Amino acid sequence: MLSRLITLCFALLFASGVAARDLQVALGAQDASQLDQRVEVNKAVVQPGSVSSFNEALAREICRRVGAHCVITPMRFAEILPGVEAGQFEMGFGNFLRSPDREKRVAFSEAIWRSSSRLVAKPQVAERLAQRIKQEVTLDSLRQVRVACIEGSMQHAYLRRVADEQALTLVPVKTMTDLLVALRENKADFTLEPMLSAYVKIAKEAPGSFEFVGPPVADRGLGGTVHIAIPKQQEDVLLIVNQAIAAMRTDGTYQRIVRQFFPFSMD
Amino acid sequence: MGRISVSSGNFSRSAWIDRILTNSSQFRFRASRAFALLAGVFALIFGLLLALLARDQQLVVEATDRLQQQTVPEIIRFQRLARNLEQLRQEGERIFAVNSPEARQQAVFVVTLVASHPSIIEHPQSAALARETERFLVEVNRQANENPAMLKDKYQDWVALASRLSLQVDDVAIQGINLTTADLTSVSRLMQTSRVKLIGALVLVGAFLLLLVFLLRKYLIRPLQKIDRQLSELSIERPEPEYPLTPITEIFSIEEASKRFHASLVENEHARHELEKLAHRDGLTGLINRRYFMLRAEAELLRAHRYERSVTVGMADLDFFKRINDTYGHAAGDVVLKTFAQMLLDSVRQTDLVCRYGGEEFAFVFPESTVEEARMLAERFRQRFSEYDIRLPDGGVVRITLSIGLADASRCPLEVALRHADDALYEAKHQGRNRVMIAAEDQPTSPV
């Protein structure tokens, strides 16, 4: 009770300060076409199934509740964390999973949704590997294949850890679109990517073009709660954002935003 | 028979306790220590109960906190898991319902997405069923892309799988509710336990108060009341106060003090009597002295005058007593006087007053006696004394006579009556000694 009271006092104390200034929001771009396009709040278009749009909607709602004027900047995933760390952005929406390394660099908000990772491949590629290794293709049974992932992501960090042991060739790319391009152009055999982001891209492809391979993975740092990255030095922003997230969950706004983009619960 | 046996047993036990209390002071203790011990035991037990209650309260607080912080969010997660499983089933239905491969593909992706969500992965039963559903639907979709007509063939299999999904949705929902039930049951059990402990604490307080009142009454108030009564009635006429056995040192001390006080009263009274006796008696003969005689005689004459009763006074003098002193010494004279006094005490009535009036002269008051009755008594004594052999310290034996004068005192003051008796004594001496003379008021004395 006391901690809540203190938090509320801090929130009220800093609310005016946050509201009085613009908030720079970094948003993970779905593809390169979105880059360098600044989006004013309330001018975005809802795109069902788009993680980027979903994050943007969340950012808009938080900004509305905070009462701040937000400017959203689509960015490559690998650039978001350094930008937030440097204080160029007050909020970074990059579907960030928490990790000890990241916690040293930035602060994280309360969870906004939960994520898992999964392998994606062309059906015939997956089938060939299954025949070769004579077992179901899973993250652990991958051997001697090329795996693409977003540079700087948790998937990238994991694959680097197991690459030598499983004789994997890593293919780091910048955006989600680049992952499908790598598969399509046969630059990679598999991709390891967040399910939600992968779903958006694969759903647009022709049936049978790509498929999810093996079971989903939520452990080993490849899944869990997703957070907004906030500069460590801006505790006032962290407090007010957490207040806004809690309020959104309490009054059902969060669930309504989720329903605009996805047909299932994100928590 | 049994009742007699029980009674006998109780009596024996009580007697045994009494004997212990009587014989051993080790079983007597200070009230302050006893009540401090009692209060300590009570505080310990009550404190223990309070600690247990506090622990229960803490557990309730923890349980409610757990309910709020963990269980409720967990229930919400279960609800969302159930919602996602239901979504999985709906997407499966969509695959069998739509005709376009694109729509089926869309549904398959949603199925895959939902089956991959952490909320399902972390729930083993749901994860297994979701994975099975995903594989089934992916395979159905793949075959349907080649031959859409096969959807009908697979539909029954899907119905069975969808049924299992529905059951899983229900199970998950119930599991979520059960989390609340477990916490609420825990809280309810704790509250019931707390209530029992609270009642226990109240009963303990009540019992302690009753015990305290009982002990105070039995070992302090009633003994003090008894002591108060005994002190109120304390006097030398009454026996030493008696108290029942007490285990309380302070009470015992007060009781013993009251006994010592009573003993002191008796001793003082005895001393007072002794002093009074010394003040009223003649040191040599043991007869009352002249001053005390005059007080007693005055009172006796007043009484006789008030009730118009007869009373006679007399004066006696040993004949030729100086000769005894001169011949045998003063020690012999003292023996004669003591012998005379002793014989006199043995001869007169208890109500008669006799004193050593001075030297070898003695005075009498005969209450309720006429002069004639007194004369008979005096004459009998004179006769007896004159014939009595008095053994002297040197072994010799002497006889001595006495002269007595009597006077009626029933109608005159004591001084007058004594003067009349003295006159009669003088007359007895004058007429040759060893005789009793009666003085007639305003008349010359007449010899007997």
| pTM, 2 dp | 0.57
Report the pLDDT value the prediction gives residue B296, as an integer from 0 to 100.
Answer: 93
Cβ of A215 and B131 within 8 Å?
Answer: yes
pLDDT tens sequence for chain A (267 residues): 445 555 544 444 444 445 556 889 999 876 656 555 555 545 445 555 678 888 889 998 999 998 888 888 888 888 899 999 999 999 999 888 888 889 999 999 999 988 899 999 998 999 999 999 999 899 999 999 999 999 888 899 999 999 999 999 999 998 888 898 999 999 999 999 988 888 777 877 877 788 888 888 988 889 989 999 999 989 999 999 999 999 999 899 998 998 888 888 887
For residue B317, give every residue at least 6 positions away whose Cβ sits within 8 Å of its Cβ, in sequence order, or none: B360, B361, B362, B402, B403, B425, B429
Which residues does A contribute to its contact with B (CB < 8 Å)?
114-116, 118, 123, 195-196, 199, 202-203, 207-208, 211-212, 215-218, 223-224, 262-267
Picking from A196, A249, A264 by the largest number of B CB atoms within 10 A of its own CB, the best residue to mutate is A264
The ranges of chain A annotated as CATH 3.40.190.10 are: 2-115+225-261, 117-217
CA distance A5 to A10: 9
CA distance B263 to B257: 10
Pick the CATH number of B285-447 from 3.30.70.270, 3.40.50.300, 3.30.70.870, 3.40.50.720: 3.30.70.270
Q: What 3-state class would DSSP assign to B105?
A: helix
Report whether B204 contacts B46 (CB < 8 A): yes
Residue of B nearest to A223 (CA): B118
Q: What 3-state class would DSSP assign to B367?
A: strand
Architecture of the domain whose range is A117-217? 3-Layer(aba) Sandwich (3.40)
Rounded mean pLDDT for each run of 10 residues along chain B, 448 residues in total: 36 49 61 85 86 88 86 86 91 90 85 88 91 92 87 92 92 85 85 88 88 89 91 88 86 90 92 87 90 93 93 94 90 92 90 92 94 92 92 89 94 92 94 91 49
Report whether A77 contacts A177 (CB < 8 A): no
Picking from B116, B135, B137, B142 by the largest number of A CB atoms within 10 A of its own CB, the best residue to mutate is B116
Three-class HEC string of chain A = CHHHHHHHHHHHHHHHHHHCCEEEEEEECCCHHHCCCCEECCCCCCCCCCHHHHHHHHHHHHHHHHCCEEEEEEECHHHHHHHHHCCCCCEEEEEEECCHHHHHHCEECCCCEEECEEEEECHHHHHHHHHHHCCCCCCCCCCCCEEEEECCCHHHHHHHHHHHHHCCEEEEECCHHHHHHHHHCCCCCEEEEEHHHHHHHHCCCCCCCCEEEEEEECCCCCCEEEEEEECCCCHHHHHHHHHHHHHHHHHCHHHHHHHHHCCCCCC
Report the pLDDT value the prediction gives residue A36, as an integer from 0 to 100.
Answer: 56
DSSP 8-state secondary structure symbol assigned to residue B431: T
Report whether B385 contacts B340 (CB < 8 A): yes
Residue A56 corresponds to which tokens in the numbers above?
């943007």
What distance in Å separates residue A19's CA from the closest CA in chain B?
30
CB atoms within 10 A of CB A130: 15
Residue B356 pairs in a beta bridge with: B362
For residue A155, give every residue at least 6 positions away whose Cβ sits within 8 Å of its Cβ, in sequence order, or none: A117, A149, A192, A193, A194, A222
pLDDT digits (tens, 9 = 90+) for B44-99: 888 888 888 888 889 888 888 888 888 888 888 888 889 899 999 999 999 999 88
CA distance A63 to A41: 8
Report the pLDDT value the prediction gives residue A266, as an integer from 0 to 100.
Answer: 82
Picking from A1, A114, A199, A267 by the largest number of B CB atoms within 10 A of its own CB, the best residue to mutate is A267
What CA dihedral angle connects B120, B126, B132 and B133, to 10 degrees? -80
Cβ of B113 and A267 within 8 Å?
Answer: no
Closest Cβ–Cβ partner in B87, B102, B116 for A118: B116
DSSP 8-state secondary structure symbol assigned to residue B404: E
CA distance B142 to A211: 11
Report the pLDDT value the prediction gives residue B18, as an integer from 0 to 100.
Answer: 52
Report the pLDDT value the prediction gives residue A184, as an integer from 0 to 100.
Answer: 92
Q: What does the domain layout of chain B look like in residue ranges?
A: 19-235, 285-447
CA distance A27 to B374: 150
Interface predicted TM-score of the whole assembly (ipTM), two decimals: 0.77
Residue B190 corresponds to which tokens in the numbers above?
């704790």
Residue B279 corresponds to which tokens in the numbers above?
């003040």
Closest Cβ–Cβ partner in A115, A202, A263 for B118: A115
Report the pLDDT value the prediction gives residue A20, as an integer from 0 to 100.
Answer: 52
Report whether B194 contacts B57 (CB < 8 A): yes
CA distance B204 to B209: 8
Pairing between β-strand A146-150 and β-strand A107-108 as defined by DSSP bridges? unpaired
Q: What 3-state class would DSSP assign to B348?
A: coil
CB atoms within 10 A of CB A219: 12
What CATH number labels A2-115+225-261?
3.40.190.10
